[in-house]
Amino acid sequence: MTSFSPSDPERQTEPTVLQEKKRHGCLTAYLVLAIIANSATALLYVFGAEAVKRSTPNLPGWAFPVLIALVLFNLACAIALLRWKNWGFWGLVASAVVTLGVNLTIGFGFSSVIVCVVGVLFLYGVLHIGKDNKGWPQLD
């Protein structure tokens, strides 16, 4: 009885070549900026909570924890995109929708609609920049 060894050269097929993923510079810059901005916002909310609450006195009590959770979720999604995870994009889309609802509910107005929609469209566009190094088709 013969045994089969995966390292047996007679039984191997073509070697699997792992293609290294390459990201367009604009996508990298956008994701790094998103990570920095969301990290800074999270730090502001944690260490400057009183200042934020004073600057927006009409902010309902429920809104601040929701906004903190959204910022942390955005941070996780940006890191996921940096690691080529498809769910990072869809998470940011869902976060933008929730943020839009929160902003309109607490009275931030139409400008928040523009910011949320433009942010998602811009990310979608940046994911499609380039030829061989387009981000969108490389997401897992």
What are the pLDDT digits (tens) for 46-58? 888 888 888 887 8
What average pLDDT does the chain have?
85
User: What is the chain's alpha carbon radius of gyration, rounded to the nearest angstrom?
Assistant: 21
How high is the pLDDT of residue 7? 55
Is there a domain that residue 119 lies in?
yes
Confidence class for position 18, pLDDT limits 50, 70, 90: low
Six-digit token pair at 43? 């730090």
Is 7 part of any domain? Answer: no
Give the total number of structural domains in the chain. 1
In-domain check, residue 1: no
What's the angle, vertex CA 28, arms to CA 24 and CA 33, rounded to 5? 150
Once rounded to an integer, what is the mean pLDDT over residues 18-30? 86
CB within 8 Å of 92: residues ≥ 6 apart: 74, 77, 78, 81, 120, 123
Domain that holds residue 124: 25-135
Q: What is the pLDDT of residue 21?
A: 86
What is the reported pTM? 0.80
Q: Residue 76 domain-assigned?
A: yes
Whether residue 10 lies inside any domain: the answer is: no
